Each structure stands twice: as structure tokens, then as C-alpha cells.
């Protein structure tokens, strides 16, 4: 083949290729024009154009498996709180006995709050926030499959804003606790809950920071613990109490708060780490109340303002400064002194008060911790035995109230705190009402019965005896709600 024939062949091949391309495009357009739906149109072109290894989602950030595993065990928690109401008239009973009648004023209003929770055992134990169920006269839990249960409050801990609920069910899906210590800043996490009543909502984000203290918890004991995991996963009202999970589907935190000027998500949310949540749940399950081990020192962060505050030079840039050591505390017995700077507990760095509080909050009275601290620039260690708020190492066991029941209504004896606050000699609180006559009479959960007819009520046993004696009669039931509002009801027994 000579040079001229070669170039002629190339030109001819190019012409033939161009004709084939034009014909192909024409046929493709004709096929698209004949399609009757967008499925055919979209299938015709761009077929498998993303079927490439470069577009496969890496296993480490695939949220699907974790979401599918977790969502069946996330529940919707609704709480009912009895609130006061305005008077609409004067009633003789109120004038003579000081009791407010449903006929003399509108019935007590029922306030409601809504949040989330996570099932943590197949027999129906649920973790949520204390603020979701605080002061509730009734707590209802709705599962993902729409089954609804009345929940019993096993125990609460305002110092960490956690609560443990129990529903009567078995073989439930549950979420295991993970290790929040292993959570790394930048790690992917999922927040699951019921924001704005939108059930089983999953949002994704990363761990933004750890050991955050944002000053939102208040407790009369002054023992509140804030050492939150901060994340940018979207959390809104209704998410409270829901789980923050890793991509293995394990709880590493309980969503508790958002930082917002609008009330909605603004980029920051906070969760109680699972290391604290699991310890609190274990305590509530075993003892009914949280066992807090205390080091017995008053502390503050080492920062740029510390030297000005204490009026002396501090030789380090970070740590936890001891302002005072309580007399007779575990810290005093271990030899800690004012001016010492704690930098570690049990081999873990504790450069902030929140990190130190978190480490100690995992312990119970009687537990020993190894404290690493600086004194005059020298690093030292000591072992301290933690004590409870009473100054000893005893475990406190919460006494469960005695309960009695009558035709679907459950009554509980009052504890000393309620009697003292309401200035009552005794009484019986209604915890569950599953009786149409009581409902129609207007009685609500949480109502404390102090008198039935002419019978004074000091306990649930008194209620049971009085109801049996008045069986078949119309009787007046007098009492007070937890908010202090006195009322009475007419009931046909």
C-alpha cells in the first residue's frame, strides 16, 4: 500500500464512522421520543454511568445498616402533667372546706410534653431524659410498630438529666451501649428520635467535641454533671432522650440539649456520654436511685482568668485547680490540698472540670480512684476513696412506694418529700386509672386522695378499705394535685 492509498483509507474510515455515529444518535432520539414515561427515558440514556468503584460508598460511612438496626428500638415518649386552672365561680365546698371543685372552676389542665427514648433491654427498660418525664402524672410510650404502653418510672437522676422507664413487654428490639470513650472527634454519628412528632427520624453528623459543659443543668444538691458529647447532627425539640449512635448501631450518647437562639437546631447539639448513661441506668435498675461517689473538692478550670481570680501565679496552662478540700472527704484523706492541680484520674487525662466530673461520676461510694495532680510543679499520685453526700461509703437504696389497686385504679403511698412539700399528714397518689367511672368523674393521674366520704386517708390501704365500705354508693373524694391545687370529685361506686 502506497502513501496515497493509506490517506484515502483513513479519510474513508472517518466518513463511515461519522455516518454510524449520526445514525446512532438519530435512532436514540427516536427511541426517547417514543417513550411514554420517564423511567424509559432515563433508562435509555446514562445507563450505569455511576456503576463504578469510584462511586461506591465506603463501608465506614454507610449509615444504612446502623439506621435499620437502631430505629425499631427508638420510642416516642409522651408525658402528662397536671397543671392549675383559673376559677370560673365560687363553690360552697371551696368556701367551707378549702377544696376546689370541678363545678366551681374548670378542671385541672393537662399539660403534655413529648420526647424520645431508647429500648435498652428486651424486657422493656427504656432510657430517656429526666426533663421529658419530670413531674409527669402519666407516661406513655409508643413503639415503632405503633403499640402503646403506659410506662412506669423506675428512677430519675436530675444531676445528669436521665431517667429509666419500664413497660410490660418482652422480646423487644433493643440498642446496646457502646463505649463513648472510644468516640473520636470527627467520627460519624447518627441521632435518632421524634423531632416535631416526626417518628423515627434519623440525622447524621460528626462528633464535634467531647467533655462539653454548657451550664444548662441545675440541681439543688449542686452535684450536676455536664460532660456532653457535642455533635452537628440535627437535633430538635422531640429528640430529647433519643440515642446518639455510632455506625455499629451502639449507643454512645443520649441526646439532651441544643444550643439555639430560635428554639430549633442551629448546628450544635449535646448528648450525655454512654459511659455516664449506662452507669446511671445500672444504678437505677439495682437501687432505684443513683449512687454518687464524691471526691470532696471544690474545683475550677485552669485558664487565662484563674490567676486573676485567685490572685497568684499558676505554673501550668491546663488542669483542674482545687480551691477547697472538704473536711472529712475522700480527697482530704488522700492528702489533696488547696492549690493542687488535678490532671488525671485512673490514668485518663482530666484537664477540665467536666472531664474530671465525668470520670468520678462513673464511680460509686466506696470505690477507689487514682488521682494524678501537680503540686508546686511536681507530678504526684494518690489514691482516694469516694464517699457519698452524707460523708460515708454506704449504698443508698430507694424505698419503692407501697401500691394497692381497686378496679383498675392503682394507688401509691406518699413519700416523705411530697408530704413535707404539700404539708400533708398522709394520703395516696393515683398512678394509673384504667376505670371508666373514675375517668368520667374527671379524676386525673397524680391526684392525691386525702379523704373519701367521712374517712380520712393516710395510705393506699385506707383507700382500699374506704372504697369497699362505700361500694354501691355515691361518695365524695377529696384531695390535692402535686401542684398544690385542691379538688374534689363525686363518684358512683
Beta bridge partners, 411, equal 404, 430
Catalytic residue chosen out of the listed positions 91, 114, 116, 131 = 131
One-character DSSP codes across 60-96: GG--HHHHHHHGGGEEEEEEEEEE---B-S--HHHHH
Catalytic residue chosen out of the listed positions 161, 232, 413, 462 = 161
Say which residue the cell 467535641 belongs to. Answer: 209
Q: How far apart are CA 170 and CA 162, in angstroms?
A: 23
Render the burial of 433-456: b for 16+ CB within 10 Å, e for the rest. beeeebeeeebbbbbbbbbbbeee
Question: C-alpha grid cell for residue 418?
Answer: 411530697
- Containing H/E element for 360? helix 353-361
Nearest to 317 by CA among 347, 354, 346, 352: 352
Contacts 24+ apart (CB under 8 A), 472-477: 476/452, 477/443, 477/449, 477/451, 477/452
Query: Active-site residue 240, yes or no?
Result: yes
Q: Where are the beta strands (DSSP E) in 376-454?
A: 378-385, 403-406, 409-413, 428-433, 448-452
Nearest to 474 by CA among 452, 487, 493: 493
**In Å, how far from its chain's centre is CA 463?**
35
Cβ-proximal residues to 70 (8 Å cutoff; 6+ apart), any chain: 175, 190, 192, 202, 243, 245, 249
Rg (the chain; Cα; Å): 32
**For residues 423, 401, 221 and 81, what is the CA-based torsion angle, rounded to 10 degrees?**
-70
For residue 241, count other CB atoms closer than 10 A to its CB.
Answer: 32
Question: C-alpha grid cell for residue 455?
Answer: 374517712
Catalytic residue chosen out of the listed positions 137, 240, 429, 459 = 240
Q: Are 384 and 331 in contact (CB under 8 A)?
A: yes
- How distant, in Å, are the alpha carbons of 48, 250, 279 from that of 270? 41, 17, 18
Q: How far apart are CA 152 and CA 165, in angstroms?
A: 6
Beta bridge partners, 54, equal none
Residues with catalytic function: 131, 161, 240
Amino acid at each position: 500500500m502506497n502513501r496515497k492509498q493509506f490517506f484515502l483509507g483513513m479519510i474513508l474510515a472517518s466518513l463511515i464512522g461519522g455516518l454510524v455515529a449520526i445514525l446512532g444518535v438519530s435512532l436514540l432520539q427516536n427511541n426517547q421520543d417514543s417513550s411514554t414515561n420517564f423511567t424509559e427515558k432515563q433508562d435509555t440514556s446514562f445507563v450505569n454511568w455511576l456503576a463504578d468503584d469510584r462511586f461506591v460508598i465506603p463501608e465506614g460511612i454507610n449509615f444504612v445498616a446502623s439506621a435499620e438496626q437502631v430505629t425499631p428500638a427508638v420510642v416516642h415518649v409522651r408525658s402528662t402533667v397536671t397543671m392549675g386552672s383559673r376559677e370560673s365561680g365560687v363553690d360552697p365546698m371551696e368556701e367551707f372546706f378549702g377544696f376546689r371543685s370541678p363545678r366551681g372552676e374548670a378542671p385541672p389542665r393537662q399539660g403534655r410534653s413529648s420526647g424520645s427514648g431508647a429500648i435498652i433491654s428486651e424486657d422493656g427498660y427504656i432510657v430517656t431524659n429526666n426533663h421529658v418525664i419530670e413531674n409527669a402524672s402519666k407516661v406513655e410510650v409508643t413503639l415503632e410498630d405503633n403499640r402503646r404502653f403506659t410506662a412506669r418510672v423506675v428512677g430519675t437522676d436530675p444531676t445528669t438529666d436521665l431517667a429509666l422507664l419500664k413497660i410490660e413487654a418482652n422480646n423487644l428490639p433493643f440498642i446496646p451501649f457502646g463505649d463513648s470513650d472510644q468516640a473520636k472527634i470527627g467520627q460519624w454519628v447518627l441521632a435518632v428520635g421524634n423531632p416535631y412528632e416526626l417518628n423515627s427520624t434519623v440525622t447524621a453528623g460528626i462528633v464535634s467535641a467531647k467533655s462539653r459543659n454548657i451550664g444548662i443543668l441545675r440541681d439543688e444538691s449542686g452535684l450536676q454533671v455536664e460532660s456532653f458529647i457535642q455533635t452537628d447532627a440535627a437535633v430538635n425539640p422531640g429528640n430529647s432522650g433519643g440515642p446518639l449512635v455510632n455506625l455499629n448501631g451502639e449507643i454512645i450518647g443520649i441526646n439532651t440539649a441544643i444550643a439555639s437562639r430560635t428554639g430549633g437546631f442551629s448546628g450544635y447539639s449535646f448528648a450525655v456520654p454512654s459511659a455516664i448513661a449506662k452507669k446511671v441506668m445500672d444504678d437505677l435498675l439495682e437501687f432505684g436511685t443513683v449512687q454518687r461517689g464524691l471526691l470532696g473538692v471544690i474545683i475550677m478550670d485552669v485558664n487565662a482568668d484563674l490567676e486573676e481570680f485567685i490572685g497568684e501565679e499558676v505554673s501550668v496552662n491546663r488542669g483542674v485547680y482545687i480551691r477547697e478540700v472538704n473536711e472529712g472527704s475522700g480527697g482530704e484523706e488522700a492528702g489533696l490540698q488547696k492549690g493542687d492541680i488535678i490532671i488525671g484520674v485512673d490514668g485518663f487525662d482530666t484537664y477540665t472540670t467536666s472531664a474530671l466530673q465525668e470520670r468520678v461520676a462513673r464511680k460509686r461510694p466506696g470505690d477507689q480512684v487514682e488521682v494524678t495532680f501537680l503540686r508546686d510543679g511536681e507530678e504526684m499520685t494518690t489514691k482516694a476513696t469516694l464517699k457519698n453526700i452524707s460523708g460515708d461509703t454506704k449504698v443508698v437504696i430507694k424505698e419503692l412506694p407501697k401500691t394497692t389497686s381497686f378496679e383498675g385504679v392503682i394507688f401509691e403511698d406518699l413519700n416523705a418529700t411530697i408530704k413535707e412539700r404539700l404539708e400533708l399528714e398522709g394520703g395516696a397518689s393515683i398512678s394509673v386509672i384504667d376505670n371508666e367511672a373514675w375517668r368520667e368523674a374527671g379524676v386525673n393521674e397524680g391526684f392525691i386522695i386525702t379523704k373519701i366520704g367521712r374517712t380520712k386517708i393516710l395510705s393506699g390501704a385506707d383507700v382500699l378499705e374506704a372504697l369497699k365500705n362505700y361500694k354501691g354508693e355515691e361518695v365524695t373524694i377529696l384531695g390535692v394535685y402535686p401542684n398544690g391545687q385542691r379538688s374534689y370529685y363525686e363518684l358512683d361506686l
